[in-house]
Amino acid sequence: MPNEPVAYYLPDPSPWPFVAAVAVLCILLGIALTVNGLFFGSVFLLGGFALFSYMLFEWFGALAQENLTGLHNEQVDKSFRYGMLWFIASEVFFFLSFFGALWYIRNISVDWLGGTGYLAATHDLLYNQFEATWPTAGPGFVGEQFTPMQAWGVPAFNTFILLSSGATITWAHWGLKAENRKLLTWGLIATIALGLLFVFLQAIEYQEAYQHMNLTLRSGVYGSTFYVLTGFHGLHVITGAIMLSAILGRSLKGHFTPKNHFAFEAVAWYWHFVDVVWLALFLFIYLV
Amino acid sequence: MSLTFMLPALILLGLILFALGEALYFLSKDHGDKDKTRVVQALSVRVTLALILFVLLILAGFFGFIQPSGLTP
């Protein structure tokens, strides 16, 4: 007689998915109103972010409590792991699509405009002054004159910062495995601090680009791809730092043991992923 | 960037992605009472390879193998 099937744990009805939807609605409404210069925009925006933060805190807390009270059986544990796999798959394809766009523009469409390849006639008929190089401001400087972002300086230093954060989260990971609470806590604190420093330096880089280099979102295809790729990456660093803060809080409360720490490991892996995406960005956007 | 530096950089990036993928695979497999360190080991390899790649890129810049590109119409 086989063992009885493991019952799947169904949580009680929860208000947090609904609260999350309301918070996102407020944020989007706030953005739309702010862009159009209406007063209540900032109220909706700040309110939306406050509600979203509160929702995350409560929802994360509810999940942690379920785990501590032993409601997460083996099947639930497995579902978390598969959920993580699907989430990461979506993240990989999200960034792949932008890297793919960059590759397509640099290796195919700019060449067409320059007079080589399948649609070389575009060059002869429309843009016969255009020379296929990268970075480009487009035919006739349609994206206005700008200075391309250089790799050395803030971007290289930021790469070092993010790589260092990869090392500190690994120390924290080893600390957790060895039951070294001090290493776990300080490793997490250092990782969050380095992540926030990265975002701060990125903001300074954007400010410099807008004010002194005339490199904006309107700077043709170079500006668009630069800001879309680095901007979405920055958003992921902020998300990762929020997740790490939740993990730090749980670590301080002693929620994780060397045998039970999936939440820590999933967030640590996510941080490594964000780190590797930046490395690819540094290579393909700033250097090559 | 010259091929001398581009090829090792791409190989290293490939190895980094492999180590990261390996860690994700172990993350989905090692659970319950299995006290394994395969995830953190793979991630340690990932960090080490990334640091090597970064040093390689800094050296490429220092020795002039990476030239800043100008802007043309």
Task: Please list the alpha-helical segments (H only) found in B1-73.
Answer: 3-29, 38-62
**Angstrom distance (rounded) from CA A113 to CA A58:** 53
Selected residues 80-109 of chain A with any CB under 8 Å from a CB in chain B: 81-82, 84-85, 88
**Angstrom distance (rounded) from CA A287 to CA A120:** 27
> What are the residue ranges of CATH 1.20.120.80 in chain A?
80-287
Q: Which two tokens stand for residue A149?
A: 């972002």
Using the beta-carbon criterion (under 8 Å), do A136 and B71 form an inter-chain contact?
Answer: yes
A–B: how many Cβ contacts below 8 A?
112
Question: Of the candidates A88, A129, A133, which has its C-beta nearest B24's C-beta?
Answer: A88
- Give me the pLDDT at residue B68, please: 56
A59 touches chain B (CB under 8 A): no
A268 touches chain B (CB under 8 A): yes
Question: Of the candidates A136, A166, A280, which has its C-beta nearest B72's C-beta?
Answer: A136
Q: Give me Rg for the CA atoms of chain A.
A: 23
Question: What contacts 24+ positions apart, CB below 8 Å, involve A110-115?
Answer: A110/A134, A110/A136, A110/A221, A113/A139
Q: Does domain A80-287 have CATH number 1.10.760.10?
A: no
- Give me the pLDDT at residue B73, please: 42
CA distance to A115, A117, A124, A137, per residue, from A121 (Å): 7, 9, 5, 20
Who has greater pLDDT, B63 or A82? A82
> What are the residue ranges of CATH 1.10.287 in chain A?
11-71
- What are B15-51's pLDDT values in tens digits? 999 999 999 999 888 875 556 889 999 999 999 999 9
B57 touches chain A (CB under 8 A): yes
- Amino acid present at A178: A
B49 contacts in A (CB within 8 Å)? none
Domain A11-71 class, CATH top level: mainly alpha
B4 touches chain A (CB under 8 A): no
- Give me the pLDDT at residue B34, please: 59
B47 contacts in A (CB within 8 Å)? 163, 166-167, 170, 272
Distance from CA of B64 to the nearest CA of A (A): 12
CA distance to A69, A202, A264, per residue, from A255 (Å): 11, 33, 10
Residue A11 C-alpha from the chain's centroid: 29
pLDDT tens series, chain A, 288 aa: 344 445 677 778 899 999 999 999 999 999 999 988 887 888 999 999 999 999 999 999 998 888 888 888 888 888 888 999 999 999 999 999 999 999 999 888 888 888 887 887 888 888 877 888 888 877 777 767 888 888 888 999 999 999 999 999 999 999 999 999 999 999 999 999 999 999 999 999 999 998 988 888 888 888 889 999 999 999 999 999 999 999 999 999 998 888 888 899 999 999 999 999 999 999 988 887
- Give me the pLDDT at residue A132, please: 81
- Give me the pLDDT at residue A78, please: 85
pTM (2 d.p.): 0.88
Using the beta-carbon criterion (under 8 Å), do A163 and B50 form an inter-chain contact?
Answer: yes
- Give me the pLDDT at residue B33, please: 54
